[in-house]
Amino acid sequence: MEALSRFLLAAGFIFCTQMAGPTAGAGPQPAVRAPGWLLPARVRRLANAEYDASVQALLSTGRSPTSELEFPPDLRRDGFTVNAAQRVDPLIVERLADAADTLATEAQANGTLARLAPCATPAGGPSCARKFITTFGAKVYRRPLVEDEVRALLTLYAAGAQDASYADGIAHVTRGLLQSAGFLYVTELGNGQVRPNATVELTPYEIAASLAYLVTSAPPDDQLAAKAASGALADPAEREHEARRLYQTDPRAKDTVVRVVREWLGIDRIDASAKDSLVYPQFQRDKPRIVAESRDFVRAVAFESTGTVSELLGARWTVGSGPLDLYRTAGDGPKLPSGPTRLTDRVGILNQSAFLASYALAHESHPIFRGVAVAQRVACMGLDSPASFNIQVIPPAPDPTVTTRKRYDVHVKDSICAGCHDIIDPFGFAFERYDGIGARRELDHGQPVDSVVDVSVKRGFDGHFADSNQMAAALARSTNARECFARFMFRAAAGAGDGAATAGEAEFMQAWRATPAAAQGNIVETLVSYAKGPGFVLRGAP
């Protein structure tokens, strides 16, 4: 939205109904502009997954408040839940208050707070409270607190302890901390010192927090916090070292990679997908395995196999937890620590049920949804919305006598539609061998399925394909797909999708291309390369 606001200003839009946003605290604008590829100095609210992981780390709780207390969903940008557009509105404020109360009450009752806030004096007192505030508060804020903050929290302690106990005061401070801006917003602001080129450098604590959330969706662990305190994280090599350590040792890092990959392809939508029970009566039975595969396969590729996007797109095996009833299997696949795998007739994640069912209607396949998803998120082909051509979208009428492909073929017969559908349709039609839940079919409405396509989009993966499996194999080998994946990883990592950081993305891609070829297609390496880069620690001055 920031970029959008800038566009509106630059374009001279005058919107009478919008009150001008207050600018207090902005300070004078620098005469020199920061390099355009840098993200602006900003704050971003924790996404729901980050909030849950944070309170779990801080209070050793097993709770996931955002689901237990019905937090609103994340506002997505470019499909990703971690982004700088998240806001705190009235409903979220109340959910945060309820969650803070639930967590603090639990932590007081189970002794967690007593452990975190010991006091030699049985009755406790402000000095013990101050110690708790400065130590636990620093973990919550992911940096040492300034004296103003300590004083404000001591005031909170006094309110909680009044006519009550030391423990009540500590619990009250905990409630406050969990609703504080210092906790809820990851800051990328620097220490207020603007460099001559109008840039600011993130503080060591901001670097540590950004790195921790990038890799684990959680706040820094003790080792990373110590590195922050020493100032070591300004060194790219130290950031790389810490990122690798977390990827190797922290299970939350694996969960984070799974989340990011699922959001990249939009297959996390399978969690909230349903099908017409008359057409696909087996879907409800198979759905848990479809969802499980969408997580376990990504985890297995990323951390137990090659770790490459090529394997994600081109693997000829899947995990044992997948919906094997829907697939043709042919013996055991690679032996992985997490469990057995099976060789299948499906090539890669695009031919698994989560993708196929997510991009389908409740009662039938949808080649256009599938084609657009591949074109935009795997091939990074720019496609305009039909609305930008003033085209009214008219879905083809149901016709039980012809195949789905035949019905959707109408697009390429219209010269206006053909401009985009010449790109979209071959991608989508290749998947027609799979129905709306991803089960294989030879007939569609009683007619033989036609999944043969010619992809001709002037990319390295162009070719004549018998079906989506052949196409996926070509995509898996393609440098274009690897590059596209890297672009989406940048958007996910930077929390800047929907064109909010196109210059930053271009800068990242330049650095990415300079990395060893073997690392380019590696999921973890791509994220590490972002953490190492100057764009990770520098921002345009506010």
The answer to whether 237 contacts another protein (rule: CB under 8 A) is no
The answer to whether 93 contacts another protein (rule: CB under 8 A) is yes
The answer to whether 175 contacts another protein (rule: CB under 8 A) is yes
Which one among 121, 196, 222, 392 touches another protein, defined by CB under 8 A?
392
Which one among 48, 54, 66, 187 touches another protein, defined by CB under 8 A?
187
| Residue 136 Cα to chain centre, angstroms | 28
The answer to whether 386 contacts another protein (rule: CB under 8 A) is yes
Q: How many residues make up the chain in this entry?
A: 542
Q: Which is nearer to another protein, 118 or 398 (CB)?
A: 398
The answer to whether 94 contacts another protein (rule: CB under 8 A) is yes
Closest CA to 247 of 237, 255, 236: 255
Q: Is the CB of residue 86 less than 8 Å from the CB of residue 44? A: yes
Which one among 56, 63, 64, 92 touches another protein, defined by CB under 8 A?
92
Can you state the angle between helices 236-249 and 523-532, rounded to 10 degrees? 150
The answer to whether 281 contacts another protein (rule: CB under 8 A) is no
User: Which positions from 295 through 324 interact with another protein, judged by CB under 8 A?
Assistant: none
Closest CA to 345 of 361, 358, 326: 326
Shortest distance in whole angstroms from residue 391 CB to another protein: 9
Tokens matching residue 188:
């990328």
Which one among 12, 22, 62, 337 touches another protein, defined by CB under 8 A?
22
Block residue for tokens 């891609």: 509
Q: Which is nearer to another protein, 87 or 413 (CB)?
A: 87
Which one among 127, 277, 447, 456 touches another protein, defined by CB under 8 A?
277
Task: Classify the C-alpha dihedral 269-275-281-284 as positive or negative.
Answer: positive
Q: Measured between alpha carbons, how far is 154 from 126 in angstroms, rounded to an integer?
A: 7
Which one among 10, 12, 62, 89 touches another protein, defined by CB under 8 A?
89
Shortest distance in whole angstroms from residue 270 CB to another protein: 10
Q: Which is nearer to another protein, 184 or 298 (CB)?
A: 184
Q: Which stretch binds another protein (CB under 8 A): 105-113, 179-187, 218-226, 440-448?
A: 179-187
Beta-carbon count within 10 A of 538 CB: 21
User: Which positions from 484 through 523 interact with another protein, judged by CB under 8 A?
Assistant: 497-498
Which one among 52, 78, 268, 507 touches another protein, defined by CB under 8 A?
78
Which one among 10, 12, 15, 28 touches another protein, defined by CB under 8 A?
15
The answer to whether 118 contacts another protein (rule: CB under 8 A) is no
Shortest distance in whole angstroms from residue 162 CB to another protein: 8
Which one among 120, 123, 397, 517 touches another protein, defined by CB under 8 A?
397
Which one among 393, 443, 514, 517 touches another protein, defined by CB under 8 A?
393
The answer to whether 1 contacts another protein (rule: CB under 8 A) is yes
* Beta bridge mates, 43: 187
User: Which positions from 31 through 70 interact with another protein, judged by CB under 8 A?
Assistant: 40-43, 45, 70
The answer to whether 2 contacts another protein (rule: CB under 8 A) is yes
In the chain, the N- to C-terminal Cα span, in Å, equals 16
Kindly write down the DSSP assignment for every residue of 38-96, as one continuous string.
SPBSEEEEPPHHHHHHHHHHHH-----HHHHTTPPPPPPBTTBS--TT----HHHHHHH
The answer to whether 156 contacts another protein (rule: CB under 8 A) is yes
Task: Classify the C-alpha dihedral 314-320-323-326 as positive or negative.
Answer: positive
The answer to whether 285 contacts another protein (rule: CB under 8 A) is no
* Beta bridge mates, 344: 329
Angle at alpha carbon of residue 198, lines to 195 and 203, rounded to 5°: 55
Task: Classify the C-alpha dihedral 497-271-346-426 as positive or negative.
Answer: negative
The answer to whether 288 contacts another protein (rule: CB under 8 A) is no
Can you tell me whether residue 281 is helix, strand or coil?
Answer: coil
Q: Which stretch binds another protein (CB under 8 A): 15-23, 122-130, 232-240, 409-417?
A: 15-23
Q: Is the CB of residue 198 less than 8 Å from the CB of residue 34? A: yes
Residues binding another protein: number (CB under 8 A): 88
Which one among 10, 12, 26, 237 touches another protein, defined by CB under 8 A?
26
Q: Which is nearer to another protein, 3 or 343 (CB)?
A: 3
Q: Measured between alpha carbons, how far is 275 from 282 in angstroms, rounded to an integer?
A: 9
Shortest distance in whole angstroms from residue 161 CB to another protein: 11
Q: Which is nearer to another protein, 333 or 497 (CB)?
A: 497
The answer to whether 390 contacts another protein (rule: CB under 8 A) is yes
Beta-carbon count within 10 A of 528 CB: 22
The answer to whether 18 contacts another protein (rule: CB under 8 A) is yes
What residues contact residue 81 under an 8 Å CB cut-off, 6+ apart?
Answer: 47, 48, 49, 74, 259, 263
The answer to whether 12 contacts another protein (rule: CB under 8 A) is no
Which one among 60, 67, 68, 97 touches another protein, defined by CB under 8 A?
97
The answer to whether 414 contacts another protein (rule: CB under 8 A) is no
Q: Which is nearer to another protein, 408 or 465 (CB)?
A: 408
Task: Classify the C-alpha dihedral 436-388-40-505 as positive or negative.
Answer: positive
Q: Which stretch binds another protein (CB under 8 A): 124-132, 249-257, 269-277, 485-493?
A: 269-277
Shortest distance in whole angstroms from residue 61 CB to another protein: 20
The answer to whether 159 contacts another protein (rule: CB under 8 A) is yes
Kindly write down the DSSP assignment for every residue of 342-406, as one continuous string.
EEES--SGGGSHHHHHHTB-SSSB-HHHHHHHIIIIIS------GGGGTPPP-PPPP-TTS-HHH
Q: Is the CB of residue 138 less than 8 Å from the CB of residue 158? A: no
